[in-house]
Amino acid sequence: MDVLLPRTLHEALAMKADHPDVVPIAGGTDLMVDLNFDRRRPSSLMDVSRLRDLGEWRREDGHLFLGAGVTYTRIVEELGAFPPLVQASRTVGSPQIRNRATVGGNLGTASPAGDALPVLAAYGADVVLQSARGARTLPWAQFLTGPKRNALGPDELILGVRWRIARGAGSFSKVGPRNAMVIAVASLCLILDEERREVRVALGSVGPTILRAHEAETRVARAIVDAGVWDDPVRELPPQAVETFAAGVAAAAQPIDDVRGTASYRRHACGILARRALAWALADRRAGSGPARPR
Protein backbone atom coordinates (compact mmCIF):
# COMPACT_ATOMS: atom_id res chain seq x y z
CA MET A 1 0.00 0.00 0.00
CA ASP A 2 1.33 3.45 -0.90
CA VAL A 3 0.47 6.70 0.78
CA LEU A 4 0.73 9.88 -1.23
CA LEU A 5 1.15 13.20 0.56
CA PRO A 6 0.43 16.06 -1.87
CA ARG A 7 1.24 19.54 -0.60
CA THR A 8 -1.19 21.41 -2.83
CA LEU A 9 -4.44 20.74 -4.61
CA HIS A 10 -2.61 20.98 -7.89
CA GLU A 11 -0.26 18.18 -6.82
CA ALA A 12 -3.17 16.15 -5.54
CA LEU A 13 -5.02 16.42 -8.85
CA ALA A 14 -1.93 15.41 -10.76
CA MET A 15 -1.50 12.41 -8.51
CA LYS A 16 -5.14 11.46 -8.91
CA ALA A 17 -4.82 11.66 -12.66
CA ASP A 18 -1.78 9.39 -12.55
CA HIS A 19 -3.30 6.99 -10.01
CA PRO A 20 -7.05 6.72 -10.65
CA ASP A 21 -7.33 3.99 -8.02
CA VAL A 22 -5.89 6.10 -5.24
CA VAL A 23 -8.38 6.63 -2.44
CA PRO A 24 -8.39 10.12 -0.95
CA ILE A 25 -8.45 10.31 2.83
CA ALA A 26 -9.31 13.45 4.77
CA GLY A 27 -10.93 12.93 8.17
CA GLY A 28 -10.64 9.17 7.79
CA THR A 29 -13.68 8.58 9.95
CA ASP A 30 -15.16 6.10 7.49
CA LEU A 31 -12.07 4.87 5.71
CA MET A 32 -9.89 4.17 8.76
CA VAL A 33 -12.59 1.93 10.21
CA ASP A 34 -12.43 -0.13 7.02
CA LEU A 35 -8.66 -0.25 7.21
CA ASN A 36 -8.56 -1.11 10.90
CA PHE A 37 -10.99 -3.98 10.43
CA ASP A 38 -9.41 -5.31 7.28
CA ARG A 39 -12.48 -4.58 5.15
CA ARG A 40 -10.60 -2.61 2.56
CA ARG A 41 -7.06 -2.62 1.31
CA PRO A 42 -6.76 0.12 -1.32
CA SER A 43 -3.56 -0.12 -3.27
CA SER A 44 -2.86 3.50 -2.43
CA LEU A 45 -4.13 6.34 -0.30
CA MET A 46 -3.79 10.08 -0.73
CA ASP A 47 -3.92 12.41 2.23
CA VAL A 48 -6.00 15.47 1.36
CA SER A 49 -6.50 16.58 4.95
CA ARG A 50 -4.04 19.45 4.72
CA LEU A 51 -4.95 20.91 1.36
CA ARG A 52 -5.81 24.52 2.00
CA ASP A 53 -7.97 24.82 -1.08
CA LEU A 54 -10.34 22.25 0.24
CA GLY A 55 -10.61 23.82 3.66
CA GLU A 56 -12.25 27.12 2.74
CA TRP A 57 -15.76 28.43 2.61
CA ARG A 58 -16.91 31.74 1.17
CA ARG A 59 -19.95 33.73 0.13
CA GLU A 60 -20.03 34.62 -3.50
CA ASP A 61 -22.90 36.00 -5.57
CA GLY A 62 -25.57 35.16 -3.11
CA HIS A 63 -24.21 31.62 -2.90
CA LEU A 64 -22.26 29.81 -0.25
CA PHE A 65 -19.33 27.69 -1.33
CA LEU A 66 -18.32 25.11 1.28
CA GLY A 67 -15.02 23.35 0.71
CA ALA A 68 -14.97 19.58 0.96
CA GLY A 69 -12.27 19.72 3.62
CA VAL A 70 -14.08 21.93 6.14
CA THR A 71 -14.62 19.92 9.30
CA TYR A 72 -17.97 19.67 11.07
CA THR A 73 -16.54 21.44 14.09
CA ARG A 74 -15.70 24.41 11.93
CA ILE A 75 -19.16 24.38 10.36
CA VAL A 76 -20.70 24.53 13.84
CA GLU A 77 -18.38 27.34 14.88
CA GLU A 78 -18.26 29.38 11.70
CA LEU A 79 -21.49 28.80 9.76
CA GLY A 80 -24.07 29.78 12.31
CA ALA A 81 -26.01 31.56 9.60
CA PHE A 82 -27.12 28.16 8.37
CA PRO A 83 -28.86 26.56 11.35
CA PRO A 84 -30.00 23.33 9.67
CA LEU A 85 -26.46 22.66 8.51
CA VAL A 86 -25.14 23.42 11.99
CA GLN A 87 -27.76 21.14 13.52
CA ALA A 88 -26.78 18.33 11.19
CA SER A 89 -23.09 18.87 11.80
CA ARG A 90 -23.60 18.76 15.52
CA THR A 91 -25.11 15.30 15.28
CA VAL A 92 -22.12 13.81 13.54
CA GLY A 93 -20.43 11.26 15.79
CA SER A 94 -18.65 12.93 18.66
CA PRO A 95 -16.37 15.93 19.19
CA GLN A 96 -13.33 13.86 18.22
CA ILE A 97 -15.03 12.83 15.01
CA ARG A 98 -16.39 16.29 14.23
CA ASN A 99 -12.87 17.66 14.55
CA ARG A 100 -11.80 15.54 11.59
CA ALA A 101 -14.83 14.52 9.55
CA THR A 102 -15.85 16.57 6.54
CA VAL A 103 -18.73 17.16 4.17
CA GLY A 104 -16.43 15.88 1.45
CA GLY A 105 -16.39 12.60 3.28
CA ASN A 106 -20.18 12.45 3.42
CA LEU A 107 -20.25 13.07 -0.31
CA GLY A 108 -17.43 10.71 -1.11
CA THR A 109 -18.90 7.87 0.92
CA ALA A 110 -22.35 8.71 -0.50
CA SER A 111 -24.19 6.78 2.16
CA PRO A 112 -27.87 7.69 2.45
CA ALA A 113 -27.20 8.02 6.19
CA GLY A 114 -24.66 10.82 5.76
CA ASP A 115 -25.80 13.53 8.15
CA ALA A 116 -25.02 16.59 6.08
CA LEU A 117 -26.58 15.19 2.94
CA PRO A 118 -30.28 15.87 3.60
CA VAL A 119 -29.40 19.47 4.38
CA LEU A 120 -27.40 19.92 1.21
CA ALA A 121 -30.22 18.31 -0.73
CA ALA A 122 -32.77 20.66 0.81
CA TYR A 123 -30.47 23.58 0.05
CA GLY A 124 -30.43 22.42 -3.55
CA ALA A 125 -26.66 22.34 -3.44
CA ASP A 126 -24.55 21.62 -6.47
CA VAL A 127 -21.44 19.52 -6.13
CA VAL A 128 -18.20 20.97 -7.48
CA LEU A 129 -15.74 18.43 -8.80
CA GLN A 130 -12.20 19.13 -9.82
CA SER A 131 -9.63 17.30 -11.87
CA ALA A 132 -6.41 18.15 -13.62
CA ARG A 133 -8.61 18.72 -16.67
CA GLY A 134 -10.68 21.36 -14.96
CA ALA A 135 -13.75 21.80 -12.80
CA ARG A 136 -17.34 20.80 -13.31
CA THR A 137 -20.47 21.35 -11.29
CA LEU A 138 -23.11 18.69 -10.94
CA PRO A 139 -26.63 19.33 -9.72
CA TRP A 140 -27.35 17.47 -6.53
CA ALA A 141 -29.64 14.91 -8.06
CA GLN A 142 -26.92 13.86 -10.49
CA PHE A 143 -24.16 13.43 -7.98
CA LEU A 144 -25.58 10.80 -5.62
CA THR A 145 -26.49 7.92 -7.85
CA GLY A 146 -27.27 5.16 -5.37
CA PRO A 147 -26.33 3.69 -2.03
CA LYS A 148 -22.63 4.45 -1.59
CA ARG A 149 -22.37 5.42 -5.24
CA ASN A 150 -21.64 8.80 -6.73
CA ALA A 151 -20.79 10.31 -10.07
CA LEU A 152 -17.21 11.17 -9.20
CA GLY A 153 -14.86 10.50 -12.12
CA PRO A 154 -11.70 8.45 -11.57
CA ASP A 155 -9.42 11.46 -11.86
CA GLU A 156 -11.63 13.82 -9.87
CA LEU A 157 -11.69 15.09 -6.33
CA ILE A 158 -14.64 16.72 -4.65
CA LEU A 159 -13.85 20.39 -4.31
CA GLY A 160 -16.93 21.32 -2.36
CA VAL A 161 -20.60 22.18 -2.57
CA ARG A 162 -22.33 25.38 -3.51
CA TRP A 163 -25.84 26.52 -2.84
CA ARG A 164 -27.96 29.60 -3.30
CA ILE A 165 -28.42 31.26 0.04
CA ALA A 166 -32.14 31.28 0.75
CA ARG A 167 -33.79 33.22 3.52
CA GLY A 168 -36.12 31.23 5.69
CA ALA A 169 -36.57 29.04 8.72
CA GLY A 170 -35.71 25.39 8.76
CA SER A 171 -34.22 22.58 10.74
CA PHE A 172 -32.58 19.19 10.65
CA SER A 173 -33.58 16.22 12.78
CA LYS A 174 -32.07 12.80 13.18
CA VAL A 175 -33.59 9.77 14.86
CA GLY A 176 -31.28 7.31 16.52
CA PRO A 177 -31.15 5.02 19.54
CA ARG A 178 -29.11 7.44 21.64
CA ASN A 179 -28.19 11.10 21.84
CA ALA A 180 -24.79 10.90 20.17
CA MET A 181 -22.66 8.58 18.06
CA VAL A 182 -25.54 7.25 16.01
CA ILE A 183 -25.96 6.40 12.39
CA ALA A 184 -29.33 7.85 11.52
CA VAL A 185 -32.31 5.52 11.56
CA ALA A 186 -34.16 8.29 9.77
CA SER A 187 -33.31 11.94 9.24
CA LEU A 188 -35.08 14.92 7.79
CA CYS A 189 -34.26 18.46 6.77
CA LEU A 190 -36.98 21.00 6.12
CA ILE A 191 -36.35 24.42 4.62
CA LEU A 192 -38.73 27.31 4.02
CA ASP A 193 -37.63 29.46 1.13
CA GLU A 194 -39.29 32.83 1.63
CA GLU A 195 -38.32 34.35 -1.71
CA ARG A 196 -39.50 31.44 -3.80
CA ARG A 197 -42.25 30.53 -1.37
CA GLU A 198 -41.10 26.94 -1.45
CA VAL A 199 -40.95 24.24 1.13
CA ARG A 200 -38.18 21.74 0.63
CA VAL A 201 -37.87 18.47 2.50
CA ALA A 202 -35.10 15.92 2.22
CA LEU A 203 -34.98 12.52 3.87
CA GLY A 204 -31.97 10.47 4.91
CA SER A 205 -31.55 6.79 5.76
CA VAL A 206 -34.93 5.88 4.29
CA GLY A 207 -33.99 5.06 0.74
CA PRO A 208 -31.12 4.15 -1.54
CA THR A 209 -30.07 7.78 -1.53
CA ILE A 210 -31.30 11.10 -0.19
CA LEU A 211 -34.94 11.55 -1.12
CA ARG A 212 -37.09 14.58 -1.64
CA ALA A 213 -40.84 14.71 -1.06
CA HIS A 214 -41.77 16.85 -4.03
CA GLU A 215 -45.48 16.22 -3.98
CA ALA A 216 -45.83 16.94 -0.30
CA GLU A 217 -43.62 20.00 -0.67
CA THR A 218 -45.70 21.48 -3.44
CA ARG A 219 -48.97 20.79 -1.75
CA VAL A 220 -48.01 22.32 1.55
CA ALA A 221 -46.45 25.35 -0.11
CA ARG A 222 -49.80 25.98 -1.73
CA ALA A 223 -51.60 25.40 1.55
CA ILE A 224 -49.39 28.01 3.14
CA VAL A 225 -50.32 30.39 0.35
CA ASP A 226 -54.00 29.60 0.79
CA ALA A 227 -53.82 30.23 4.51
CA GLY A 228 -52.10 33.54 3.96
CA VAL A 229 -49.20 32.43 6.06
CA TRP A 230 -46.45 33.48 3.71
CA ASP A 231 -47.63 37.07 4.01
CA ASP A 232 -48.57 36.96 7.65
CA PRO A 233 -46.46 34.68 9.84
CA VAL A 234 -48.85 35.04 12.74
CA ARG A 235 -51.58 33.19 10.88
CA GLU A 236 -51.88 29.50 11.49
CA LEU A 237 -51.75 26.73 8.97
CA PRO A 238 -54.83 24.51 9.32
CA PRO A 239 -53.98 21.29 11.18
CA GLN A 240 -55.30 19.22 8.30
CA ALA A 241 -52.70 20.72 6.02
CA VAL A 242 -49.97 19.79 8.47
CA GLU A 243 -51.24 16.22 8.71
CA THR A 244 -51.50 15.89 4.97
CA PHE A 245 -47.97 17.16 4.67
CA ALA A 246 -46.71 14.69 7.23
CA ALA A 247 -48.44 11.81 5.53
CA GLY A 248 -47.10 12.92 2.18
CA VAL A 249 -43.54 13.02 3.44
CA ALA A 250 -43.91 9.60 5.01
CA ALA A 251 -45.22 8.28 1.72
CA ALA A 252 -42.17 9.63 -0.09
CA ALA A 253 -39.84 7.52 2.03
CA GLN A 254 -38.59 4.22 0.60
CA PRO A 255 -37.24 2.55 3.72
CA ILE A 256 -36.10 -1.00 4.21
CA ASP A 257 -35.76 -3.23 7.24
CA ASP A 258 -32.20 -3.45 8.42
CA VAL A 259 -30.20 -3.82 11.62
CA ARG A 260 -30.91 -0.24 12.62
CA GLY A 261 -34.64 -0.25 12.21
CA THR A 262 -37.73 -1.48 10.42
CA ALA A 263 -39.21 0.08 7.34
CA SER A 264 -42.49 0.76 9.08
CA TYR A 265 -40.83 2.54 11.97
CA ARG A 266 -38.76 4.63 9.59
CA ARG A 267 -41.77 5.63 7.62
CA HIS A 268 -43.58 6.50 10.81
CA ALA A 269 -40.61 8.54 12.00
CA CYS A 270 -40.50 10.53 8.77
CA GLY A 271 -44.10 11.54 9.25
CA ILE A 272 -43.53 12.65 12.82
CA LEU A 273 -40.38 14.57 11.97
CA ALA A 274 -42.07 16.25 9.04
CA ARG A 275 -44.96 17.39 11.18
CA ARG A 276 -42.68 18.71 13.88
CA ALA A 277 -40.22 20.37 11.53
CA LEU A 278 -43.00 22.22 9.76
CA ALA A 279 -44.53 23.33 13.05
CA TRP A 280 -41.15 24.55 14.27
CA ALA A 281 -40.42 26.44 11.09
CA LEU A 282 -43.76 28.20 11.23
CA ALA A 283 -43.35 28.92 14.93
CA ASP A 284 -39.85 30.26 14.43
CA ARG A 285 -41.15 32.50 11.63
CA ARG A 286 -43.81 33.70 13.96
CA ALA A 287 -41.36 34.44 16.75
CA GLY A 288 -38.86 36.34 14.68
CA SER A 289 -36.65 35.83 11.75
CA GLY A 290 -36.00 32.18 12.36
CA PRO A 291 -34.32 30.37 15.25
CA ALA A 292 -31.68 32.11 17.31
CA ARG A 293 -28.05 31.53 16.57
CA PRO A 294 -26.69 28.42 18.20
CA ARG A 295 -24.96 28.76 21.55
Does position 81 interact with another protein (CB under 8 A)? The reply is: no
Which x/- pattern, by CB under 8 A, does the window 156-195 give for another protein?
---------------xxxxxx--xxxx-------------
The torsion angles phi and psi of 88, rounded to 5 degrees, stand at -65, -45
Instruction: Confirm or reject binding of residue 111 to another protein (CB under 8 A).
Output: no
Comparing C-alpha atoms, which of 53, 50, 51 is closest to residue 65?
Answer: 53
Q: How many residues bind another protein (CB under 8 A)?
A: 53
Q: State the Cα–Cα distance between residues 277 and 240, nearest whole angstrom.
A: 15
Neighbours of 25 (CB within 10 A): 21
What x/- string results for residues 274 through 293 when contact with another protein is judged by CB under 8 A?
A: --x---x--xx-xxx--xxx
Chain centroid to CA 52: how far?
A: 22
- 162, 135 Cβ separation under 8 angstroms: no
- According to CB under 8 A, which one of 69, 83, 118, 271 is a site residue for another protein? 83
Single residue of 96, 142, 218, 262 touching another protein by CB under 8 A:
96
SS3 assignment, position 264: helix
Among 125-133, 238-246, 250-258, 273-281, which window interacts with another protein (CB under 8 A)? 273-281
Cβ distance to another protein smaller for residue 143 or 172: 172
Map residue 274 onto helix, strand or coil: helix
Shortest reach from residue 288's CB to another protein, in Å = 6
- Is residue 47 near another protein by the rule CB under 8 A? yes
203-231 exposure pattern, b = at least 16 Cβ within 10 A, e = fewer: bbbbbebbbbbeebbebbbebbeebebee
261 DSSP 8-state letter? B
Can residue 228 be called a binding residue for another protein (CB under 8 A)? no
User: Which residues contribute to the site for another protein (CB under 8 A)?
Assistant: 1-3, 5, 25, 27-29, 32-33, 35-38, 41, 45, 47, 49, 83, 86-87, 90-91, 93-97, 99-100, 171-176, 179-182, 273, 276, 280, 283-284, 286-288, 291-295
